[in-house]
Amino acid sequence: MTSTAPSPLPRVRTQLICSDFDESLADADSDRWVHEVLAPDLRRNFDQPNGPQFTDLCAELLRQLHARGITQQQIEAALRSMYFHPAMARGVKATAESATTQTTWFLLSNANTVYIDTILKDQNIHQYFLEIVTNPAHFEASGLLNLRRRVDPSGPQHTCAVGCSANMCKGDELDAFLARHGGRGNFERVVYIGDGGNDYCPVMRMQQGDVALVRTKRGLQRRIEKEGAPQAGIRYWSEAWEVEFILAELRGEELLSS
């Protein structure tokens, strides 16, 4: 395991930081967390081999939560209790507000809109993200949290050959974001923060000079080692405080360590 990105990272005028959510920006898995707090026996369904498509499983477990009388307020309270490392929140805020480098934040996740919006607003960093692309979800009048795949199973499907889940191709979504916002040339550098195997597709679409922040001992690192490294440089990290230091480096600053 060797980082391949230059050190120090060069300063640029404009950059896009695209981040995964669960176990990357946030320090836990929001889908599992809700059930761990409210119905641990349901959470164990996530560990079943050869189960249904993951988003469909999450939707079914939410229906079971609702059948047990779990309310919207209980789900939102569980989300607000989920651990979010303060170093990550500080890093997002400082980078978004930096006067030295214009940074655009983009969140790309297989979680859902309700989970992400609730947690980011609780951390007071929701406003720093230009776009959040994830699975749509909403509370119905009955209190049921209704979750759907981003890519509707009844419509055209993505054609990813890298192994993205049926609900979304993260590589396609990154390319689409860039197209919506002036093209790849509008950003001198693209940075991706990820941990899971489903982050491999967007990381492999990055270019030389870009930077992939890869969490160690997770699916993304394993896929890179097994299937090949991206053109982008790699910085490995384990804990959120390390990402805070890298984000400072990305904006040309240095944090003092004790």
| Annotated binding-site members for Mg(2+) | 20, 22, 195
Give binding residues as ranges: 20, 22, 195
First to last CA, the chain: 26
With beta carbons less than 8 A apart as the criterion, state whether 203 and 230 touch.
yes
CA within 13 Å, CB half, 63? 9
Cα-Cα-Cα-Cα dihedral sign, residues 64, 70, 73, 76: negative
Residue 22 annotated among the catalytic residues of the structure: yes
Cα–Cα distance for residue pair 197/72, rounded to 1 Å: 31
Instruction: List Cβ neighbours of 156 (8 Å cut-off, separation of 6 or more).
Output: none
| Alpha helix segments (H runs only) across 151-230 | 170-180, 200-204, 219-227
With beta carbons less than 8 A apart as the criterion, state whether 224 and 206 touch.
no
Catalytic residue among 22, 31, 199, 210: 22
Cα–Cα distance for residue pair 53/26, rounded to 1 Å: 23
Q: Which residues are catalytic?
A: 20, 22
